[in-house]
Amino acid sequence: MTSYKHLFQRSLGAAPDRLHFAAHSHHLWPDASYVGQLAAWQDAARLADRKWERVMGELWPAAQRHVADELALPDPETVVFAGNTHDFLIRIASAISRRPLRILTSEGEFHSFRRQAARWVEAGEAVVDTLPADEHIVAGMVARAGAAEYDLILVSDVMFGSGMVTAGIEQLAALARPEGPWVVIDGYHSFMAVERSLEAIADKVFFLAGGYKYAMAGEGVGILHAPPGYGARPVVTGWYAEFDDLSLPPGSVGYAPDARRFLGATFDPSGLYRFVAVRDMLRDEGLTTAAINSHAAMLKDRFLDGLKGTPLADAQILNPPGDGPQARFLALRCANAQDWQARLMAEDVVTDVRGDVLRIGFGLYQDEADVDALLGVLRAF
């Protein structure tokens, strides 16, 4: 198997004895991200006040093009960036005038939305209906939306706990209307991990993503695709959102004509530098999402082949390999998952756990020897 460790020399060299199998949680940073981080500092020193001309004039459109290429979006200007996806959740909700918000979602959403939705309910700001995060989630949402009115429908592209890939988001997109409901796809666990084309539904759905995981760019890169005609004037925005709106009289609150209408205010641009540097590196190396998935799938198969001789042999695999898109991590349900994660961490083997589910993630910086070493640690328990 081809090794790509040479692309991660700094991260791997910083902890040479560590076995990192949490690419789905905190992806190790490739060397290209270091180059991007240095460029951010050097531009700030070299250009000072004028650095924003480079950030917004060069880095921003380059990052937009990379996202559009990855998701097959017809127009890069539907892409906007923020420090995290929670910022965008708040801004999307603020663009809906009705209160309380009527929200339909799943029981498997990540904490940034789950917690916010619960707090909205506490404050009387929302009424939230949840459905089980299983293979019937889309059919259930379509049926529920046919029987009740909703302002916002949100579901993850890949469920962060189980690794289940949500099939049929096109059916949800068909429900979307500018007057409501709005459909938001949380792609944080699918962006650059699942081959996903939004070309046919880009005019109907919001899509959230970030740089922390498979984009390998670290924190500070929240990504939103915002369909034209949805949320022209979000309430919670900053002064960056009014660029280019020169048609209103003085004193009016203006908005950019594209996805920048969801912008906040002054931000740390270093994440964009890292994101663009990493995407440029992947392009130069010929590493598409499909190619990385192939590498990860071989590692995953090798791990599953060797799992029978370990204490985890009887764990329930919630997302076994199969046809169609796959998450890049395995979700293993077992009663003592917390203990297994702690024991592995004590051996400098990094995985993570969600309740009774041990998650083991596979990525570009691992090779066959790493999988064999992980299996060896498990067999020694």
Convert the pLDDT of each residue in 310-355 to its tens digit: 999 999 999 988 878 888 999 999 999 999 999 999 999 999 999 9
- pLDDT score for 321: 87
Whether residue 326 sits in one domain with residue 265: no
Average pLDDT for 235-244: 88
Whether residue 315 sits in one domain with residue 206: no
The last residue of a domain, from among 255, 281, 307: 281
Whether residue 243 sits in one domain with residue 321: no
| Structural domains of the chain, count | 2
The last residue of a domain, from among 263, 281, 299: 281
- pLDDT score for 245: 61
- pLDDT score for 247: 61
pLDDT above 60 (res 246): no
Could you tell me whether strands 349-350 and 329-333 are parallel, antiparallel, or unpaired per DSSP bridges? unpaired
The last residue of a domain, from among 253, 281, 309: 281
| Strand order through the sheet with 357-361 | 316-317, 329-333, 357-361, 352-354
The whole-angstrom distance between residue 337's C-alpha and the CA centroid of its chain comes to 24
Average pLDDT for 156-182: 94
**Dihedral pair phi/psi, residue 113, rounded to 5°:** -85, -45
pLDDT band at 248 (very low <50, low <70, confident <90, very high): low
pLDDT band at 291 (very low <50, low <70, confident <90, very high): very high
- pLDDT score for 326: 87
Peptide bond into 132 cis (omega under 30): no
pLDDT band at 39 (very low <50, low <70, confident <90, very high): very high
Dihedral class, residue 180 (left if φ above 0, else alpha if ψ from -120 to 50, else beta): left
User: How far is 269 from 36, CA to CA, in rounded Å?
Assistant: 11
State the CATH number of the domain containing residue 109: 3.40.640.10
| CB neighbours of residue 343 within 10 Å | 15
Whether residue 16 sits in one domain with residue 84: no
Whether residue 212 sits in one domain with residue 83: yes
Which carries the bigger pLDDT value, residue 316 or residue 252?
316
- Tell me the pTM: 0.95
Whether residue 130 sits in one domain with residue 107: yes
What residue numbers bound the domain in which 79 lies? 33-281
What is the per-residue DSSP string for 72-131?
Answer: T-S-GGGEEEES-HHHHHHHHHHT---SSEEEEEETT--HHHHHHHHHHHHTTSEEEEEE
Average pLDDT for 185-211: 96
Whether residue 65 sits in one domain with residue 202: yes
User: How far is 206 from 210, CA to CA, in rounded Å?
Assistant: 14
Whether residue 270 sits in one domain with residue 358: no
- pLDDT score for 367: 97
Average pLDDT over all residues of the chain? 95
Helix (H, G, I), strand (E, B), or coil: what is residue 360? Answer: strand
Average pLDDT for 103-110: 95
- pLDDT score for 285: 97
253-277: pLDDT as tens digits: 889 999 999 999 999 999 999 999 9
State the CATH number of the domain containing residue 351: 3.90.1150.10
Whether residue 168 sits in one domain with residue 44: yes
Whether residue 83 sits in one domain with residue 128: yes
pLDDT above 70 (res 49): yes
In the chain, the DSSP E strands lie at 19-20, 79-82, 101-106, 126-131, 152-156, 182-186, 205-210, 222-225, 316-317, 329-333, 349-350, 352-354, 357-361
Structure tokens at 13: 């060299």
pLDDT above 90 (res 2): no
Whether residue 12 sits in one domain with residue 68: no
- pLDDT score for 201: 98
Structure tokens at 182: 């709005």
pLDDT above 90 (res 87): yes
Whether residue 298 sits in one domain with residue 268: no
pLDDT band at 113 (very low <50, low <70, confident <90, very high): very high
**Dihedral pair phi/psi, residue 3, rounded to 5°:** -105, 140
Structure tokens at 316: 């329930």
